[in-house]
Each structure stands twice: as C-alpha cells, then as structure tokens.
Structure 1
Amino acid sequence: MSIAVLDKASPAASPSPSRRNMFAGAASVAASVAAVSALGSTAQAQASRTAGHKPRGLTDADIFNFALNLEFLETEYYLRGLTGQGLSQSDTGSASGEVMGGRKVQFRTPMVERFMQNIGRNEARHVRFLRSTLESSAIARPRIDFTAGFAGVAQAAGLGADFDPFADEVSFMLGSYLFEDVGVTAYKGAAPFIQNKDYLQAAAGIHAMEAYHVGVVRSSLYRLGPDVRDKARKISDLRDLVDGPLDLDQPIELDGRANIVPTDSGGVTFSRTPQEVLNIVYGQAGAGIMSGGFFPDGVNGNVQVT
C-alpha cells in the first residue's frame, strides 16, 4: 500500500554517547522516578516552570519548524509500519536526511490496523500542512534512525533486547505511545509563545488531534492486560527520567485504575519545554544535548536547546 492509498486527501554541544551508553543510568529508572515523585505538578507550577523556557528571539515559524521535526518522526514511523514506505521527497524537502529502520507490520486485528491507518493519515497531513504554511522557510526532514532509537529505548526501559516496534501490532502501538504522548505535551508547551492567532489556532487544532491519537493508543494498550500495561509504564518512567527532574509523565494505569488521560489534580494536562522534548527523542538527560537517539544529527531549525 502506497502513501497515496493511505492518505487520499490530498549553548555548547555535549558529546553524544554511544548506543551502549544511551539513557545513562537506566538501571535505576524506578528509583530515580520514585525519588522525584514527591515534587508533583500543578497548573501553577507548570506555568512557572515553562515561563522561563520561552525560546528567545524565535519566531512563530521557528516554533512550527520545531514541531515539523516531530511530525516527520511520527509520520515516518506510521508510514513505514503501515505501508513499508516513507514520505516522498516532495513532502520532505530538498537535501532531506535518510531514514533508517522500520518495516511493514503484520497486523492481526483489523480494528487496530484501521486505528493506526487513521492516525497515520493525520500525521502525514500534519507534515503537509506545516510545510505549506511555512512555505520556503520549511525545514527539510532531518536524519532519523528508528533502529538505534528504539534499541536505546528497549535497553534503558527494560523492554528486552529483542524489542522491535515493527515486529507486531502490540509492539507498534507501544512505539506509537512513546511518540504521541510527547507530541501532545510539546504542542501544549509551545502554545503560550505563539504570537500569530492563525498559527495559534492551527497549533491548537493539531494539539487536539494528537490528544485524540494518544487517547486511542492509551486505551487500546490498557485493554491488552497487565503485561502490556507494565511495558507502557516502563516507557512512561523512561520519558520521566530523561526529560527532567519533575515527575510529570503518567502511565496508562495509576493506583490500580485506568489512566487514559494524564492530568494533574485540576484536570489539566501538562506541558513540556523544547529541551524536555529533545531529551526524550535524543534519549539523553541533561541540558544542552544536541543530538542522539532518533535524531543522530539533531533536529533542523532554530530551536535546538533552551
């Protein structure tokens, strides 16, 4: 199945560690997350935290280009899993980076495949929408490495050395869960800094779409039982470990109950700063990280580190 069938609607850089050292300290994920859990999160605390991370001197276009990096990552993931192919060059820009890893998933459950196809269509449209909005200022697709990225995730999160998100539909949904939750928090974190109301409205619409996506993924994974819920918890703990000191991320099961929508005590979902987002996709904790994980050469555009 081709992409046409899938979507018919037309500071100083820190050295990147090797794959063996990716997500340093991963053996102590549970202890590290527990150590910061007492910090909690409230809407007021989040507002205070993100207020100091406004990308200085950056335009709305810079923020949209930052989002485009993430949309490239998500779209290439879904297209490769659903069709065995990625975006065409007309959608990736000139001198776009190569994409390593990924293959067509053999789905066993038609409903799951339909859900993933729906999400994949949406993500491809996000790429095209952002590129058409940005026009000549749109970045090209950066180099993406699913093989190294997921190998690091599997090792650090304790998913097993043989974890492959393209091996089966459940693994594919777990890989989707890794990305979709990050997309929701990234768009929410960027919203306060967008000046143009048209851009803000568009970002809000994409944020809502990403939230719909992760709601489907989280609920689908929850229904698969304790073993899958535990794997999803490990991914959540890993995101929490590398993105910063606050215990913000939430698994799909919390205190023995379904936790499909992660919110604080006020029913508000949390935000991530650009650096927190980059730490997750680069697979490294700390400030000033410039590359690694899924983006071996870093992301493109003016939002690099904050």
Structure 2
Amino acid sequence: MDQTPIEPSPGKNRRSALLLGGAALAGLALTRSAFAQSTVSDSDILNFALNLEFLEGQFYTLATTGMTLDQAGISTKSGSGTAGGTVSVKTSPMVPFTTPLLQQFAAEVAMDEQNHVKFLQSALGSSAVAQPNIDLMASFNTLAQAAGLGSAFDPFASETNFLLGAFIFEDVGVTAYQGAATLLSSKTYLDKAIGIHNVEAYHAASIRTRIFQAGTAAQSASQAIAAARASLDGTGNDDIGVSVGSGGAATIVDNDANAMTYARTTAQVLKIVYGGGSSGGVFFPNGLNGTIK
C-alpha cells in the first residue's frame, strides 16, 4: 500500500471540495432502505453503538500501540462468548508520531474508546454482540477515492494522515449518538449515551483543531471527506470540513445554522460506514452485528 501522506491541492476551497466529493461518489450505489423496524429496544441501540466503538477502539489502539483490542486485553467477544471478528490492517500500523503532545492525545483517545467498549459490554451483559469483521486497509482507500483524494490512503503513515483518519470516525460518532439518543427509552441509558456523546464531541473538536492548525492541505482534505460523508448519507449538506469561512472565522465546530450538532439516523450512519453498500462494506465488510444493520 502506498504510505505517502495525502497532500491535496492547497488552492481548493470548500465549494470545489463539495463538488469533487459529489462527483466522485456519483457512481456509487447510495440507495439503502430505511431501517424498517418501527420500534427498537434500548439493547438494539446500545449494540449499534458498540459496533461503532469496536471500530474506533481498534483504530486508535492500533495507531498508538500497534496492537488490536484483543492483544491489548480488551475482549471483542459477545456477552455469550461468541468470538469477535477479524481486523484487516497493515503490518506494523503504529503511527510514527514525532509530536509528543499529539501522541499523548492519541493515547488518551485510545483509552477512552476502549473504555466505551467495556462500558457498553457491561451495560448489555449477555446481550452484547461480538465485534464484526473490521477493515482498516481497503476501507480507507475506497473512501479516499470516493472523496477525490487519490486511490490510496494510509491513515497510519503520518501524523497528518492519522488526524484525517480520526476525522472520519469522530464526526460520524458524534452525529450517531445525537441521532440515537431520542430512540432510548431508559433515562439511565440516555444519561450514559449523552456522556459518551460529549466525550466523542471533545475528541472531534480536538482533532478538527489540529487539522486546522496543520494548514491548507489538511483543511482541504477534510472538506473533501466531509463532502463525501454528506453525499453518502443522502443529505449532501449535513457535514462541514475544517476551513476558514467567508467572514474569516474557522469552521472547527461542525454544526448547523443554529449552532447545533448535526444528527444522523442509524440508516444514514450505516450508509457512511458501509460506503453506500446495502448490507455491509468499507469498514464493516460483512455488516454490523445485532438488529440494526
């Protein structure tokens, strides 16, 4: 795999990135039927979240330690003991960090995501699903091509690439928890979901700030990624990349015209993590485990 950090043209503005992302995605199958079940249980929602936390936990643990969750002592089994799925990743995925503060931040995020996995497993007990198969190789190449950033992207190759890989996950996680919160009936679970949502928002803001500080090339790449996500979920307008706005203000905070967090339905989140597939693809090649998939 080409491990050269992506360096998009610094001259691209947000409008050109949106157009590029939309054009690149035009050939993908974007149709997916809405989640058909009229009612879902709290366990269904928590297991949906657990699938996403497995993805984030694997990415950050591999990036900071070179180990999978299982190798780091975090179980990926179901509550009933079914073994977790495989993780496809490059050999020696630990990011070659050169900035100690960024490495320390990445280690903190890895620990947070591991704790999210463990908390959800504990809350679900025997109902917790096993980790599905996860792809952290071809998935990034597919999304990079869809966003118009080239045919290959290695999020483990450099600090900037790591930030862009993390950018893909964290913003989606924030919108997923925002959208799923209204489906929970238990106030206890709602309180915990909001707590996780807030931590994911801290992560996203920190990552977006570092992308902003990294300069125009990283900002342009984030705009293309945001455009691709918005195209995949079918809205085309619920995602903002990092840039300097027309009035000179930064767009570090990904929010709507009312300065509120965007929310995504479970079906919209699946469209992104499946890359437009109907039953799996990209990060989850065989789909999620559980009822919502």
TM-score of the superposition, structure 1-length normalised?
A: 0.80
Contact 1:29 / 1:241 at 8 angstroms: preserved in 2? no
Residue 258 of structure 1 is matched in structure 2 by 250
Kindly indicate whether residue 272 of structure 2 is the aligned counterpart of residue 280 of structure 1.
yes
Contact 1:119 / 1:213 at 8 angstroms: preserved in 2? yes
Deviation at 1:261, TM superposition (A): 1.1
Q: Which one of the candidate residues 274, 288, 293 is aligned to 1:299?
A: 288
Distance in 1, matches of 2:146 and 2:18, equals 8
Deviation at 1:267, TM superposition (A): 1.4
Deviation at 1:262, TM superposition (A): 1.6
Runs of 4+ in structure 1 off by over 4 angstroms are: 31-34, 52-55
Residue 248 of structure 1 is matched in structure 2 by 238
Distance in 2, matches of 1:128 and 1:74, equals 13
Residue 85 of structure 1 is matched in structure 2 by 67
Computed over aligned residues only, the root mean square deviation of the Cα atoms, in angstroms, reads 2.1
Distance in 1, matches of 2:129 and 2:21, equals 36
Residue 263 of structure 2 is matched in structure 1 by 271
Structure 1 residue ranges without an equivalent (≥5)? 1-27, 35-51
Residue 106 of structure 1 is matched in structure 2 by 96
- Say which SS state the counterpart of residue 116 (structure 1) adopts: helix
TM-score of the superposition, structure 2-length normalised?
A: 0.83
Residue 147 of structure 1 is matched in structure 2 by 137
Kindly indicate whether residue 196 of structure 2 is the aligned counterpart of residue 203 of structure 1.
no
Deviations 1:85-111 (A, max 9, x none): 011275100321100014111101001
Residue 27 of structure 2 is matched in structure 1 by none
Distance in 2, matches of 1:32 and 1:114, equals 32
One-letter amino acid of the counterpart of residue 232, structure 2: V
Contact 2:140 / 2:152 at 8 angstroms: preserved in 1? no
Residue 10 of structure 2 is matched in structure 1 by none
Distance in 2, matches of 1:149 and 1:32, equals 16
- Say which SS state the counterpart of residue 299 (structure 1) adopts: coil
Deviations 1:158-217 (A, max 9, x none): 222342101011101100000000000000000111000110000000000000000000
Distance in 1, matches of 2:113 and 2:208, equals 17
Deviations 1:102-145 (A, max 9, x none): 41111010011111111111000000000000000000000001
Q: 1:220 to 1:31 in 2, by over 3 A?
A: closer
Q: Which one of the candidate residues 173, 176, 181 is aligned to 2:163?
A: 173
Q: Percent identity?
A: 43
Kindly indicate whether residue 62 of structure 2 is the aligned counterpart of residue 74 of structure 1.
no
Contact 1:33 / 1:247 at 8 angstroms: preserved in 2? no
Superposition pairs of residues 33-48 of structure 1, within 5 angstroms = 33=22
- Say which SS state the counterpart of residue 206 (structure 1) adopts: helix
One-letter amino acid of the counterpart of residue 104, structure 1: M
Distance in 2, matches of 1:87 and 1:138, equals 16
Structure 2 residue ranges without an equivalent (≥5)? 1-16, 24-33
Residue 120 of structure 1 is matched in structure 2 by 110
More helix by share: 1
